[in-house]
Chains A and B, each alone.
Chain A
């Protein structure tokens, strides 16, 4: 491999790298984690409707794919992925994150079974304590992880020489960025004015709405 990882590897993680490279395909590796996660009490069922006391997300929304653990994961990831673009005031910030997590859930539902399974493996790997520590090298549980820790984790996966981890970085940031920046409420952040108003006025599909 001509491109060496930029990140500082601690000795204890060397074995996971050789493990990943030892011909064990990524899928197989992640598949094992998924089974382990299920056995070890990670939430594996879609969260459905959450009550407000439980979590800051909107209790009216019914989650079809994301589990309670996944929701906590994204509550930790989003401040690092889209956080700098978010307003500072706690309430709008909370709402923007909650709305983005809902759109991530809606998006994944349309991905269909095969890609859902891939994401399930990735999320389980991140949620399951042992692999969170060994593969993601995040020591705190997600709700306790600081934005700086999460950012460092994302940087490690982005700059890693292991394609599988790069792929994980792309998957996490892509679904988050698209669900966030693609939403009309956040279009202004990319200077996108939206569809031309004159066209919307002239087109029947907008008048009938």
Chain B
């Protein structure tokens, strides 16, 4: 087991890293390329461009946290590593949005599941958005390459009980299941991926591509928020960014101007469309912010006869795609089944309730098991996604209407999840729904699920997968960037993150972001060097 901390070592060795909260004067810097966001897309881009010999500046709104800060504590992690201190929600407050805000972006807090973009999704993109050269055969080498870079392989250790129950339930019912590939190296199987990997085992951007870029002379400003891209004629001239103060939420007043030949936006879904909207980037067909997707997630919890200890062990290791593409790619909403880790703060926020009932619910945490369904949104006319717009203060917000098409999928998913948990031996099951009691049997649950109102707020909904809002496509009337992430109207602007997906993925998105960013950055490096 290796405890070498790449970040601590690099900082000592003189990496060019600036904590913007320490800046006292306005300033201007210049590079070949400025990259906004340091997550899956930004990190990949930075490493590839820096290795190609281009000068790179990375801009990250969150702060640089690394091993010394990762103490397996929920409250500090949620406050420091997540967007809006873990309070991000959709515009009407009905869907909780989990998203990273720190160097490494969401990869610093994600659960390490690493799936290739499903082939039906890539084919759907080719057929419907003109993305012919993203067909599965063409993308294969990029997935191969990124799996190697991020040390992705199926998790061969036994799943924890939480995941094993999903496996057992599927087995009993004859539903398919499989082992999840994870991006880890020497993982201790602790269970704290969501609060910053304490052992540096997770091979997210923070331990791979960010160090790779900084080793190659890239400069990183953290605690620096990109406010506005400023155009001069038909090109972007510079980025205006605000230094945040040490409290991480208030701008200190110091402005940083960053000039470059090319700008890569990788502030992710919600963040990237937000930046483009603030910057009045040419958008003749009003596409920016539209078709934002989230893999809407609903959940059930079960009380098992034996201890589950759902807070320990690799958080995700088993999944089922039985219902994901079963009805065709564009039929009734399909869903992927997975398991979430359950720690006390997260559970007390996710399980709705108060008073005695809540105390009694949470008392059972060691015996609790949970299944989540991730709905594949964006593949059907009745699933057009949400819209990112700007609040008065310029911050982005996602409005996500849940259509009847999605409610139908969510109800079916509730059925499946409860059925699986009872099949695996659950004593009781309840839905994450304001009106759900604990059900004692599958037949009781089945009847009740048909009756429970599928309504905003009553059904507790979540997302950890923000996608779209700057969708790619060959037709500029329907998309923001082309199949290489190049903006249709501004020649020195590219977008390299999850915001370019024209639909949701139908699988956890990080490897899709890594692979597309690698492909598009390799092309961009060639262009800028040429």
Residues of A within 8 A of B (CB): 2-3, 26, 80-85, 103, 106-115, 118, 151, 154, 158-159, 163, 166-167, 169-171, 173-174, 176-184, 186-187, 189-192, 195-196, 199-200, 203-206, 208-209
Q: Encode B129-158 as 1/0 by CB contact (under 8 A) with A.
A: 000000000000000000000000000000
Q: Which residues on the B side are within 8 Å of A173 (C-beta)?
A: 352-354, 358
- Flag whether B11 is at the interface (Cβ < 8 A): no
Do A177 and B75 form a contact, CB below 8 Å, given A109-B247, A182-B345?
Answer: no
Q: Could you say which of B190, B248, B344 contacts A196, with CB atoms under 8 Å apart?
A: B190
Contact between A167 and B92, CB atoms less than 8 A apart = yes
Q: Which residues on the A side are within 8 Å of B364 (C-beta)?
A: 191
Cα(A157)–Cα(B187), bound, Å: 44
Interface residues of B in 382-415 (CB under 8 A from A): 391, 393, 395, 397
Contact between B84 and A111, CB atoms less than 8 A apart = yes
Of listed A109, A200, A203, A209, residue having the most chain B CB within 10 A? A203
A79 → chain B closest CB, angstroms: 9
Residue of A nearest to B350 (CB): A174
- Flag whether B457 is at the interface (Cβ < 8 A): yes
Contact between B356 and A163, CB atoms less than 8 A apart = no
Size of the chain B interface, CB-CB below 8 angstroms: 62
- Flag whether B80 is at the interface (Cβ < 8 A): yes
Do A113 and B395 form a contact, CB below 8 Å, given A173-B352, A174-B349?
Answer: yes
Given A109-B85, A113-B393, A206-B71, 18 more A-B residue pairs with CB atoms under 8 Å apart are A83-B355, A84-B355, A107-B78, A107-B87, A112-B249, A151-B354, A154-B354, A159-B435, A163-B92, A163-B457, A166-B457, A174-B349, A183-B75, A191-B365, A192-B366, A195-B198, A196-B312, A205-B69
Q: Which residues on the A side are within 8 Å of B355 (C-beta)?
A: 80-81, 83-84, 151, 154
Of listed B3, B93, B365, residue having the most chain A CB within 10 A? B93
Cα(A87)–Cα(B248), bound, Å: 36
Q: Encode B173-192 as 1/0 by CB contact (under 8 A) with A.
A: 00000000000000010101
Contact between A205 and B79, CB atoms less than 8 A apart = no
Q: Could you say which of B69, B73, B190, B363 contacts A190, with CB atoms under 8 Å apart?
A: B363
Cα(A203)–Cα(B190), bound, Å: 12
Q: Which residues on the A side are within 8 Å of B92 (C-beta)?
A: 26, 163, 167
A98 → chain B closest CB, angstroms: 16
Contact between B365 and A192, CB atoms less than 8 A apart = yes
Residue of B nearest to A26 (CB): B92
Cα(A109)–Cα(B67), bound, Å: 24
Q: Which residues on the A side are within 8 Å of B68 (C-beta)?
A: 204-205, 208
Q: Which residues on the B side are within 8 Å of A109 (C-beta)?
A: 85, 247, 249
Q: Which residues on the B side are within 8 Å of A180 (C-beta)?
A: 348
Contact between B75 and A103, CB atoms less than 8 A apart = yes
Q: Could you say which of B192, B356, B435, B456 contacts A84, with CB atoms under 8 Å apart?
A: B356
Contact between A204 and B344, CB atoms less than 8 A apart = no
Q: Which residues on the B side are within 8 Å of A110 (C-beta)?
A: 79-80, 84-85, 87, 248-249
Contact between A195 and B190, CB atoms less than 8 A apart = yes
**16 sampled A-B residue pairs with Cβ under 8 A:** A2-B453, A82-B354, A85-B358, A107-B79, A107-B87, A109-B85, A109-B247, A110-B84, A110-B249, A158-B434, A166-B458, A169-B434, A182-B345, A182-B348, A184-B73, A192-B344
B275 → chain A closest CB, angstroms: 16
A174 → chain B closest CB, angstroms: 5
Q: Could you say which of B80, B190, B395, B455 contacts A163, with CB atoms under 8 Å apart?
A: B455
Cα(A80)–Cα(B358), bound, Å: 11
Residue of A nearest to B192 (CB): A195
Of listed A85, A158, A181, residue having the most chain B CB within 10 A? A181
Contact between B84 and A115, CB atoms less than 8 A apart = yes
Q: Encode B5-41 as 1/0 by CB contact (under 8 A) with A.
A: 1000000000000000000000000000000000000
Contact between B198 and A199, CB atoms less than 8 A apart = yes
Of listed B73, B84, B344, B457, residue having the most chain A CB within 10 A? B344
Residue of A nearest to B74 (CB): A182
Cα(A154)–Cα(B248), bound, Å: 33
Q: Encode B439-475 as 1/0 by CB contact (under 8 A) with A.
A: 0000000000000010111101000000000000000
Q: Which residues on the B side are within 8 Å of A205 (C-beta)?
A: 67-71, 198
Q: Which residues on the B side are within 8 Å of A85 (C-beta)?
A: 358-359, 362
- Flag whether B347 is at the interface (Cβ < 8 A): yes
Cα(A208)–Cα(B349), bound, Å: 31
Residue of B nearest to A196 (CB): B190
Residue of B nearest to A206 (CB): B71
Q: Encode B41-52 as 1/0 by CB contact (under 8 A) with A.
A: 000000000000
Q: Which residues on the A side are within 8 Å of B302 (C-beta)?
A: none
- Flag whether B94 is at the interface (Cβ < 8 A): yes
Contact between B348 and A178, CB atoms less than 8 A apart = yes
Q: Could you say which of B79, B352, B455 contacts A3, with CB atoms under 8 Å apart?
A: B455
Interface residues of B in 292-334 (CB under 8 A from A): 311-312
- Flag whether B242 is at the interface (Cβ < 8 A): no
Cα(A3)–Cα(B433), bound, Å: 13
B164 → chain A closest CB, angstroms: 19
A196 → chain B closest CB, angstroms: 7
Q: Encode B411-443 as 1/0 by CB contact (under 8 A) with A.
A: 000000000000000000000001100000000
Q: Which residues on the A side are within 8 Å of B365 (C-beta)?
A: 190-192
Cα(A68)–Cα(B5), bound, Å: 45
Contact between A112 and B190, CB atoms less than 8 A apart = no
Cα(A197)–Cα(B427), bound, Å: 31
Q: Which residues on the A side are within 8 Å of B276 (C-beta)?
A: none
Cα(A80)–Cα(B355), bound, Å: 6
Q: Could you say which of A84, A182, A200 contacts B359, with CB atoms under 8 Å apart?
A: A84
Q: Which 9 A-B pairs rank lowest in CB-CB distance, beginning with the nearest?
A: A182-B345, A110-B85, A166-B457, A181-B348, A3-B453, A177-B348, A195-B72, A190-B365, A85-B359
